Amino acid sequence: MNNTKSKELYKAGQKHLVGAVNSPVRAFNSVGGNPLFMGKAHRSKIYDVDGNEYIDLVLSYGPMIIGHGNDKVIEAVQKQVCTGFTFGASTENEIKLAEIVCNAFPGMDKVRFVNSGTEAILSAIRLARAYTGKNHIVKFAGCYHGHSDALLVAAGSGLATLSIPGSAGVPKEAVQNTLIAEYNNIDSVKKHIAECDDIAAVFIEPIAGNMGVVLPSDSFIKELRKITSAAGILLVVDEVMTGFRSKFGGAQELLGIEADITCLGKVVGGGFPVGAYGAREEIMQMVSPLGAMYQAGTLSGNPVAMAAGISTLEELKAQNPYDKFNAQAEIIEKALLAAATENGIELTVNRFGSMINPFFSAKKITNFTEAQECDTARFTKFFWGLIENGVYIPPSQFEAWFLCSVLSDEDMNKIINAINAAMKLAK
Ligand SMILES: *Cc1c(COP(=O)(O)O)cnc(C)c1O
């Protein structure tokens, strides 16, 4: 595989960019080797700057759910670009996207658009505190909720991969009101509730995707909803990754729970920077200009991003690819397990809808501690094997693979062949 140009750019990028990247996982630190610089993408494929073609199972870490370069999305974006980039005033498309989103999430009467998942979450922290008048928040080890101070502890993928216990520059005062619980362990939440009467909210990824894909047990997630309601604690469901991924709407509906506050990002912007937080009327009444909780944004509800979000969600709804996602993920799971068995490799696969994750471990993976026990050296060999064979997956054992709706049978065959070849190399 020729990667001359990626190597040149990686070297050149070091001069004025930090580590040649604008987000750490892109540096390939956990798998070593030269990170790929991408040149273009079309439908299910992505091409690096040296012209190598890959089936894209990263999809910009989720947003590109209908594949790259959908004609209708391009048309909507082009039209908006010609009409105006940003006005600093309200536009009709914000109302339209709000309607689509609120209709898709049963517990959401109103929504506020922001520019990233991180921003949605940090606004949700403020909102939960404003609404309850309480200060503490509970998060689960291994769940990632963006890079805001209060939630940057025990935060999964990027941090797990780099083995940073939190981050430098986060004062202990910023996390002293953050309590850590264990995913799938309801007693760890009950303990906090018993010991602290100042909890505003529990934050959770309904399907964890940032320690690798980890599913909540039915009893855990339902019990969590029950005990938070009973204690007057808000349940903030972080659907930045899961929103619109496994059904049109959120994972919470599939899991049989309803959030007090839902956070969105990724898919909702169709590849442009959009985040959102929403809740029922009485909670959203707290937000400025209706209420006393301040939150603002120069580019929030950006017209081009709204156009991309609306057209992506309309197309997604029309395509309704969710059964296809399940069927294709099942095929990939079977291929992974069969290839592992053939090569005497211990493997566990977790998946939910269009999110799937092979863990190089013999054990079931139900929480962050178990995820961390995986054989990451083997993952590294497997990762490079897939790259060599034309399949682009996230460069970390702890990131989900994503499927897009335009994966063809031919793409699927290529993925399966690549899995077989890469698993041999991982032996
Ligand atoms: C990606 C992600 C975020 C952060 O979103 P950004 O747009 O990267 O700030 C928050 N929560 C979850 C669950 C995510 O997957």
- Asked if 415 and 277 sit in the same domain, the reply is no
pLDDT over threshold 90, residue 158 = no
Residue 398's CATH number: 3.90.1150.10
- Asked if 156 and 271 sit in the same domain, the reply is yes
pLDDT over threshold 90, residue 93 = yes
- Asked if 294 and 420 sit in the same domain, the reply is no
Q: Mind listing the pLDDT tens digit for each residue in 250-300? A: 999 999 999 999 999 999 999 999 999 999 999 999 999 999 999 999 999
- Asked if 279 and 300 sit in the same domain, the reply is yes
Q: Where are the alpha helices (DSSP H) in 196-354?
A: 218-230, 251-255, 281-284, 303-319, 322-342
Give catalytic status of residue 238 as yes or no.
yes
Give the closest residue to 300 by CA, choosing from 124, 148, 112.
112
Q: Give the integer Cα–Cα distance in Å for 115 and 218.
A: 32
- Asked if 62 and 116 sit in the same domain, the reply is no
- Asked if 420 and 331 sit in the same domain, the reply is yes
Give catalytic status of residue 381 as yes or no.
no
- Asked if 178 and 84 sit in the same domain, the reply is yes
- Asked if 79 and 192 sit in the same domain, the reply is yes
Mutation probe of ligand 1 site: the residue of 26, 64, 139, 145 with most atoms within 8 A of C-beta: 145
- pLDDT > 70: what percent of the chain? 97
Answer for the pair 73, 270: CB distance below 8 angstroms, yes or no: yes
Tell me the Ramachandran region of residue 74: left when phi exceeds 0, alpha when psi lies from -120 to 50, beta otherwise.
alpha
Domain end among 318, 338, 359:
318
What integer is the mean pLDDT of 320-342?
Answer: 98
pLDDT over threshold 70, residue 69 = yes
pLDDT at 152: 84
State in Å: Cα 31 to ligand 1 middle. Answer: 22
Residue 93's CATH number: 3.40.640.10
The residues, any chain, with a CB within 8 Å of residue 316's CB and separated by 6 or more, are 65, 66, 244, 248, 267, 405
- Asked if 165 and 250 sit in the same domain, the reply is yes
pLDDT at 165: 52
| Number of other CB atoms surrounding residue 2 within 10 Å | 10
Q: Give the integer Cα–Cα distance in Å for 32 and 380.
A: 8
- Asked if 224 and 362 sit in the same domain, the reply is no
- Asked if 86 and 145 sit in the same domain, the reply is yes
Q: Mind listing the pLDDT tens digit for each residue in 2-51? A: 999 999 999 999 999 999 999 999 999 999 999 999 999 999 999 999 99
Residue 114 bridge partners (DSSP): 275
Give the β-pairing of 355-359 and 401-402.
Answer: antiparallel
- Predicted confidence band at 223 (pLDDT cuts at 50, 70, 90)? very high
- Predicted confidence band at 163 (pLDDT cuts at 50, 70, 90)? very low
- Asked if 270 and 363 sit in the same domain, the reply is no
pLDDT at 173: 85
Q: Give the integer Cα–Cα distance in Å for 177 and 164.
A: 20
Give the closest residue to 359 by CA, choosing from 397, 401, 332, 400.
397
Domain end among 289, 318, 347:
318
Answer for the pair 196, 204: CB distance below 8 angstroms, yes or no: no
Domain end among 267, 284, 318:
318
Residue 36: DSSP 8-state: P
Q: Mind listing the pLDDT tens digit for each residue in 114-141? A: 999 999 999 999 999 999 999 999 999 9
Range of the domain at 268: 71-318
- Predicted confidence band at 157 (pLDDT cuts at 50, 70, 90)? low
What integer is the mean pLDDT of 148-160?
Answer: 74
- Predicted confidence band at 160 (pLDDT cuts at 50, 70, 90)? low
Q: What is the pTM of this model?
A: 0.96
Atom of ligand 1 nearest to the CA of 143: 13
Which residues sit with their C-beta closer than 6 Å to ligand 1?
Answer: 116-118, 121, 144-146, 205, 209-210, 238, 240-241, 265, 275
Q: Give the integer Cα–Cα distance in Å for 226 and 393.
A: 37
Answer for the pair 38, 56: CB distance below 8 angstroms, yes or no: no
Tally of structural domains, the chain: 2
Q: Give the integer Cα–Cα distance in Å for 177 and 174.
A: 7
